[in-house]
Structure 1
Amino acid sequence: MNDTDSTLLSYFDTAADGFCDRLRSVPDTCWENATPCTEWNVRQLANHMIQGSRIYTSLLRGGSSAEFMANLDHEALNGDLVTTYRGAVAECRAAFRAVGALDRIVDYPFGPVPGRQLLGLYVVDAVTHTWDLARAVRLDERLNAPTVHWILNNFQWIYHGVSESPITDSNRYYGSPTESPMSDTSEQDRLLHTMGRKL
């Protein structure tokens, strides 16, 4: 992985903003819609993304893996969801941009990783769940192509040493990869199949 820190941070912004764009377009009647993540409806998926941003912020500021797991399913939905999400992302963005944050080893629960790698994990999660949200509410499913390309090119680095991941045999947090229907599948479809999504 040879990207500059500025480039990495731009992927964070693109991924977080992509989810926000879909979130603010969710009709009031769709919050209970099922998502491709079978354990979550749309409202619960929004909660996951809000709480995930808060947990990553905590890790970057010295939080522990035990705190991460304890807060993973905490209810974070208070007030307007778009405003709450934006606030959580702003805090997370600031934490990643803090001096030394990308080099700091954080206590990620599935293996200690530097902040730079944690950012990659965030980007994959946000991009994948952007598609989940779009599919659940019938919004634009097109993901940011340069970000998808970057994820695919750095997939092994992003998940290096991480025990729960799409490149391990664990299916606790990630669905098993699904088969691509044809050899000329787009990069977006390749990523979604890798992340266990059925298109």
Structure 2
Amino acid sequence: MTVGIREAYRRALDGCAAQVQRVGPGQWRDPTPCSGWDVRTLVNHLVQECLFVPELLSGRSVAEVGDLFEGDLLGDDPVKAFDVAAAAAVRATAPPDVLGRVVRLSFGDVPCEEYLTELFADALIHTWDVATAVGRPVRLDPELVRLCTEWFAGAEADDTQALGEHPGTDPLTRLLAAWGRHG
């Protein structure tokens, strides 16, 4: 990545925050492109991911964190919950040695850089999901789309989601199709 993963993750969260902040009071129950999820459920998922970051980067395992972040994490102010959780996640990625750490996930240990890359991709795609759910066109940061596309192309994807199966389309459309979205 030409942009470091910490910066890419921060920028993806910033873009997502901009969309979350624009969700209207009557739009939290609108369906999203994520099957079975409404906007509130999707944002709750993102908050949960963000809240795990400081815990996991401090050396705790998913098992040790347990069900601490289960249930409704949004309360009466979903925007504030997202902003607070995203800021905590970004702060947790700041230490100079963070990328050398190992993150203890439910399926095994992974390098921190890999963990943050997955979080970055999730935040970027879900930015599009939130905007789409509430009927707003969104232009994702082209540099982040390129970085995510490069990462996804290098990751092991099943044949039905391979980026190469969407030739001749712009990078965002190809990336969205690889993630099962139609942009």
Give the TM-score, by structure 1 length: 0.81
Query: Does residue 79 of structure 2 align to residue 82 of structure 1?
Result: yes
- Change beyond 3 A, Cα 1:108–1:137: same
Which protein has the bigger helix share? 2
2:88 is matched with which residue?
A: 91
RMSD: 2.5
Return the alpha-carbon distance in structure 1 between the equivalents of residues 126 and 107 of structure 2: 20
1:182, CA displacement in angstroms? 6.0
Return the alpha-carbon distance in structure 1 between the equivalents of residues 117 and 8 of structure 2: 8
Amino acid at match of 2:147: W
1:193 is matched with which residue?
A: 177
1:180, CA displacement in angstroms? 8.7
The runs of 5 or more residues in structure 1 that have no matched partner are 161-166, 170-175
Q: Deviations over 1:15-70 (max 9, x none)?
A: 00111111111111111100011121011111111111001221111221325674
1:136 is matched with which residue?
A: 133
Q: How many residues of Structure 1 are paired with residues of Structure 2 in the alignment?
A: 183
Return the alpha-carbon distance in structure 1 between the equivalents of residues 172 and 65 of structure 2: 29
2:32 is matched with which residue?
A: 35
Amino acid at match of 2:179: M
Identity value in percent: 31
- Change beyond 3 A, Cα 1:56–1:128: same
The answer (yes or no) to whether the contact 1:55–1:71 under 8 Å persists in 2 is no
1:48 is matched with which residue?
A: 45
1:153 is matched with which residue?
A: 150
Return the alpha-carbon distance in structure 1 between the equivalents of residues 166 and 6 of structure 2: 33
The runs of 5 or more residues in structure 2 that have no matched partner are none
The answer (yes or no) to whether the contact 1:51–1:74 under 8 Å persists in 2 is no
**Runs of 4+ residues deviating >4 angstroms:** 178-182
